[in-house]
Structure formats: structure tokens, C-alpha cells
Amino acid sequence: MRILRRSLGCLAWVVLAGLPAGAQTEELESSVLDGAGGRAAGGTYELVSATAQPGGIQASAAGGTGGLRHQAGFLGTFVLKPELDHDGNGIPDEWDDDNDGDGLADRAELAGTDFEGAWGVAAPTDVNAADSDGDGAGDDHELLAGTDPNDADSLFAITDIQREGVGARVNWKGRGDGTGYRVLGHDGSYAPPTDELDIVVVADPGVGVWHAAEGTWLDPDETDARHYGVVKE
């Protein structure tokens, strides 16, 4: 008797032979993950499995949330959890290379290779959350800014703008170690600041492997209606 079975990640055939007439038979099931299949025999049965599709189930502990991500099965012909679609793009997480839609591939997020390549620090992030540390700056934003995606206190953002004499002081947090920032402004009713006011290089080496540091700039002739922006070079 030959029975075709579909199992997780492969196709398997079960061959039952040599049973006495009238004996009860029992079906066998097999799962193969990241393997090339093989053969197992014993007693009255023989099991043959086909070569498996690379993939399988991968566990992620990025961001301290844990969870499972299942790579597509044999030729991507089935989905175990079709309702899991973290970025809502209509592609189940099992088939999606970027579960959270943050522009960082899941495989790179699990290993932190994007951050390692850009900043020399491997920083695994949560494949199911576009903002792993919940600080309001997405993982893609932190990759560009060179800040720690797993520390809510490490991000690139303006912290405050204070009146200082006849001018105003703009403060922000970001990177040190010679990182350059362009300070932008716009006068009048609000619009995204586009006028370049100055370029500031944060010479402070900063703290830790991310060189966390604060930048500051004094506008000597601030007006009553000036909007500011800071852009990393």
C-alpha cells in the first residue's frame, strides 16, 4: 500500500509491506525541516522522505518579545497561520520577507546584520515590530541615524528649544564621534523647515558603542515664529 502524505516542509511517502493477511495497518507521518530527506526502516514498515525545502521554523527573541516565524514550506504551497500578517499588507508572515514592513528584511533583523554593516554593531531587532524599542523612531529610522534600535533612550530627535538671550538654543540627541548635522529653519506659518542655518559637527566621542551624544546650536537672531529641523549628514 502506498499512501501520499503532505507534512511540514516536505513530501513523504509511507510504504507498508510484508504484513500478514488481515492484520491492522497504521499510517506513519514524517516532518523534515532544513533536511535532505532520508530513509528509515524497522520491522514491517519502511519510511522514505523527499528532499525538504530550505527554511523551517525560526525562533526570534529580538526585543525581548520572543515568538516564532515559520519559513515557507515545501514550495510555499501552504500557510499554517494565514491570519498572522503584522504589517497588514495581505501577505501572511510565513511568506513575507519583511513581517513588520519596516524595510528591513526579517533575516537581517534576526541577525542584526544591517546595523553591523553600517555601524559595526550587530543589533538584532524584532521582525514583528517596526519599532523594536517603542521609542517612536522606527528600526529603519534608527539604522539611518546610527542609534540603538533596542534602547528607548537612544534615538535621533530634537529634545527642546529654549530662549537664550535674544536668540534660541536647539538641542537634540543623536550620535557623537564627529557626526555632522544640518540645522534647518523656516519663518512664518508652519511648514517643513528647509532653509539651512548651519552645520554642526558633534565632536564629543559619545557614550558606548553607539557613541550616544547630544548636539546643540545657538540661533543668534531667532524670530518669534521660526520652526527648526535637524538632519543628519
Q: Which helix (H) or strand (E) holds 179?
A: strand 179-187
pLDDT on residue 19: 35
pLDDT on residue 94: 85
In whole angstroms, give the CA distance from residue 45 to residue 62. 43
pLDDT on residue 222: 75
In whole angstroms, give the CA distance from residue 138 to residue 97. 17
What's the CA angle centered on 14, arms 8 and 20, to 5 degrees?
150
pLDDT on residue 79: 77
In whole angstroms, give the CA distance from residue 170 to residue 219. 8
Q: Pull the grid cell for residue 48.
A: 522514505
Task: Classify 175 as helix, strand or coil.
Answer: strand
pLDDT on residue 72: 42
How many C-beta atoms lie closer than 10 Å to residue 136's C-beta? Answer: 10
Per-residue pLDDT of the chain (233 residues; tens, 9 = 90+): 333 333 333 333 333 233 334 444 444 444 444 444 444 545 554 454 445 555 444 444 444 444 444 444 444 556 778 899 999 999 998 889 999 999 999 999 999 999 999 999 999 999 999 999 999 999 999 999 999 999 999 999 999 999 998 899 999 999 999 999 999 999 999 999 999 999 999 999 999 999 999 999 999 987 778 999 999 99
Q: Which amino acid is at 61?
A: A
Give the closest residue to 79 by CA, choosing from 22, 29, 8: 8
Q: Pull the grid cell for residue 141.
A: 529610522
pLDDT on residue 75: 46
Give the closest residue to 232 by CA, choosing from 119, 120, 134: 119
Residue 139 to residues 10, 25, 99, 208, Cα–Cα distance (Å)? 35, 54, 13, 19
- Report whether 62 contacts 109 (CB < 8 A): yes
